[in-house]
Structure 1
Amino acid sequence: MHKTWNGMIQRTTNPKNKSFNRYGGRGIKVCDEWLKYTNFKDWAISHGYDDSLTIERIDVNGMYCPDNCTWIPVKEQAINRRSTVWIEWNGERKNIKQWSDALGINYGTLHSRYYRSGMRPPELFEPVKK
């Protein structure tokens, strides 16, 4: 837990940190309350901290604070990035990996159709021709 807290502090305040440009360099901060480790630790424990989880900012452009953070599995966190492309179709919003899983279409196929061919729904989701 202390490693998580320290990493959060470093990437938001230390310009020499390799991740600073993606966090502190673009204005992401840690709330005043969490600058004190014991406050962060108390929040973490009361909000389901577990060594298998990682801290997640709900709003990727928001600060690290109790109202904007939660604990989630690492695999889920990979989805919540500024670079994630969200595709809305038939009233559902998913990223390319989620659509791949839901429709049974190979991820590489959807990725290539979207980025190389510029396809969008519904054409993007048509079955692969054999």
Structure 2
Amino acid sequence: MGRPRKVDIIGNVYGYLTVIDRAKSYSKDKKWDCICICGKTHGVTRQRLENGTTKSCGCMKKALAREKSVKHGGYRDGKNTPEYQSYIAMMHRCYDDKRLGWDRYGGRGITVCDRWTLPSPNGFLNFLEDMGERPIKFSLDRIDPDGNYEPSNCRWASRSTQGHNKNLVKNNRNTSIYRGVSYNKTAKRKNPWCARIGNGRDGYTWLGGFDTELEAAEAYNKAALELFGEDAKLNIFD
């Protein structure tokens, strides 16, 4: 078996960074020298470049802190617009590791698409063009909770819809193949299969205990249709 072919990413652009050469690295993690749009050079591993974890030399985080003093399309009557507030919150979640909740976003590899991370004001203006105005009582939501922030995976959603969406994330401790269904070991023989659904207000609505897993899944589907209509994410039966 021959040696694996070396990958050359010189010239590739990742966010604010352009790869210019292989870095002299004495660690196991091979790095690439990159030049940032601010003019600084920065050594980054190929993995962090390609998965979007690193998009600048660090100046992006500093730019976020300065954004509030920059007047552009994110202002209306001298105040930040709802769309701009959502944009800044999104950027902090993914790139400010000092921010509360970062571990649930940037910390687990969630990133923002290149189109929305262009230098100010272009990144925000692209975001506004793609998303449109934020409806009252709506907020930014990722359709796939494990996906990145990008036009195809983002929408303005109500709190109840987001609560329902979060309920679709599979838990490692889940005991059922169906959404909203779990097995209650303490119930023993009577109605051991439990059904519940996220309602976006106070967490979950209890739907009851059932003799079979299928009955519990059907109860979940019925509640989802009543709560969310055509937006309901339903269990599919073979």
Q: Indicate whether the TM-score tops 0.5.
A: yes
Which string of whole-angstrom CA distances, capped at 9 and with x for unpartnered residues, describes residues 31-59 of structure 1? 011121111111121xx632321111111
Instruction: Read off the aligned partner of 2:105 and give its amino acid letter.
Output: Y
Shift of 1:83: 5.8
Partner residue of 1:76 out of 151, 161, 167: 161
Please state if 1:121 is matched with 2:203. no
Q: Which runs of 5+ in 1 are unaligned?
A: 89-94, 99-106, 126-130
Change in 2 beyond 3 A, CA 1:7/1:121: same
What is the rounded CA distance, in whole Å, between the counterparts of 1:87 and 1:66 in structure 2? Answer: 28
Instruction: Read off the aligned partner of 1:40 and give its amino acid letter.
Output: F
Change in 2 beyond 3 A, CA 1:19/1:123: closer
Query: TM-score if structure 1 supplies the norm length?
Result: 0.66
Tell me the C-alpha RMSD between the 2 structures.
2.9
Shift of 1:5: 0.4
Change in 2 beyond 3 A, CA 1:31/1:123: closer
What is the rounded CA distance, in whole Å, between the counterparts of 1:123 and 1:55 in structure 2? Answer: 31
Change in 2 beyond 3 A, CA 1:27/1:120: same
Tell me which residue corresponds to 2:197: 97
Which string of whole-angstrom CA distances, capped at 9 and with x for unpartnered residues, describes residues 58-82 of structure 1? 1111100001111111111012123
| Larger strand proportion of the pair | 2
Tell me which residue corresponds to 2:106: 24
Q: Which runs of 5+ in 2 are unaligned?
A: 1-82, 118-122, 172-177, 182-194, 199-204, 220-238
Confirm or deny: 8 A CA contact 2:196 2:207 kept in the other structure: no
Partner residue of 1:63 out of 148, 155, 176: 148
What is the rounded CA distance, in whole Å, between the counterparts of 2:128 and 2:216 in structure 1? Answer: 48
Identity %: 26
What is the rounded CA distance, in whole Å, between the counterparts of 2:158 and 2:106 in structure 1? Answer: 24
Partner residue of 1:52 out of 117, 121, 137: 137
Aligned residues between the structures: 104
Tell me which residue corresponds to 1:4: 86
Tell me, what secondary structure is at the counterpart of 2:89?
helix
What is the rounded CA distance, in whole Å, between the counterparts of 2:216 and 2:105 in structure 1? Answer: 37
Confirm or deny: 8 A CA contact 2:138 2:159 kept in the other structure: yes
| Larger helix proportion of the pair | 1
Shift of 1:22: 0.5
Larger Rg: 2
What is the rounded CA distance, in whole Å, between the counterparts of 1:51 and 1:40 in structure 2? Answer: 18
Tell me which residue corresponds to 1:102: none
Instruction: Read off the aligned partner of 1:97 and give its amino acid letter.
Output: I
Runs of 4+ in 1 over 6 A off after TM superposition: none
